[in-house]
Amino acid sequence: MRYFILALAILFPVAFGTQASAQASLSVGIGGRGVSLGFSISTYPTLVRIPGYPVYYDPRVDLNYFFYDGLYWVFVGGDWYASSWYDGPWYLVAPIYVPVFVLRIPVRYYRRPPPYFRYWRPDAAPRWGEHWGPAWERERSGWDRWDRRTVPAPAPLPSYQREYSGSRYPRQQEQQRTIESSHYRYQPREPASRRLLDEQRRRETDRYRQSSQHEERLGQPQPSPSREVRSRQQEEVQHQRMEPPRTAPPAPRGRDADKGAKGRSDKGKGRAEDDRRNGDHP
């Protein structure tokens, strides 16, 4: 199953190629668990608002890279991914949950448009119904129709992330959330954005709970043997004490002893007979 009911996390290491942009590089490959995706954005992006839309894009990177509703959005390989930080980790968002204003971004603002975009009007949104099929189009009917006079205000840019680049960039989600909670108060209005952030928080909570339980198990003393085990051990010790000491086997008796005595007697008679013969001949 390619897509899940909620926007789910899919972050894998990647290896495919580098781009001409000095700020960003993209690589796509096949990982151990299927298609993998990754980006390397070395510095905070240069975000410019798209006129008439509550969306930003970066004209300096060779990526389909946007910012909307408090999240960064990228379009790669026919799928949308989102992150609350400019260099990931990235999360795959099912087509049914991609926000309408992300879908409405005009073709001309895709810095790396897929080949099938070239036949579409640059000042209009991509024809997502042709890309994702009629079932998606029925579910998202009306996504390309709206009153342009009632466009919502764009979310504030998370410019505090400018201070975190290179080795200072927080790679762990727990670190990102800690920094974000003290610098960025914006609450997403899109269901997809909220689902994504809720999923991140749930995963963080699960990891923290598992880590705490593991530490508690390591810190607990080893349990003492149960009463039944102790009783069994004591019985074994007493049984060993009651066993008689082992001695050397007794000397053979009966017929075997008679055979031995008879053998020795016959040997003695033979030697006496020899001595007698030797005495008769000088």
- pLDDT tens-digit readout, 222-257: 555 556 656 676 666 566 666 565 655 666 565 555
Of 95-99, 142-146, 186-190, 204-208, the least confident: 204-208
Residue 227 lies in a domain: no
Residue 281 lies in a domain: no
- Look at residue 267 and tell me if it is in a domain: no
Q: Is 237 within a domain?
A: no
DSSP 24: E
In the chain, the DSSP E strands lie at: 8-9, 24-31, 34-41, 48-49, 56-57, 65-68, 71-76, 79-83, 91-93
Q: What are phi and psi of 41, to 5 degrees?
A: -105, 110
Q: Write the Ramachandran bin of 52: left for phi over 0, alpha for psi from -120 to 50, otherwise beta.
A: left
What is the domain count for the chain?
Answer: 1
What is the Cα–Cα distance from 96 to 251, expressed in whole angstroms? 95
Is 236 a domain residue?
A: no
Residues 6+ apart with CB under 8 A from 45: 23, 24, 58, 60, 61, 65, 67, 72, 86
**Mean of the per-residue pLDDT values of the chain:** 76
Q: What does pTM read for this prediction?
A: 0.64
Which residues form the domain of 172? Answer: 8-217
In this structure, what is the dihedral angle of CA atoms 105, 106, 111, 117, given to the nearest 10 degrees?
A: 110
Query: Residue for token digits 């914006």?
Result: 186
DSSP-assigned beta bridge partners for residue 57: 48, 66
- What's the pLDDT band for 180 if we cut at 50, 70, 90? very high
Residue 279: inside a domain: no
- Residues 108-146 pLDDT 10s: 999 999 999 999 999 999 999 999 999 999 999 999 999
Burial class from Cβ neighbours inside 10 Å (0-12, 13-18, 19+) for residue 71 reads buried
Higher confidence at residue 269 or residue 87? 87
Report yes or no on 249 lying in a domain: no
Please report whether residue 108 resides in a domain. yes
Model confidence at 16: pLDDT above 60: no
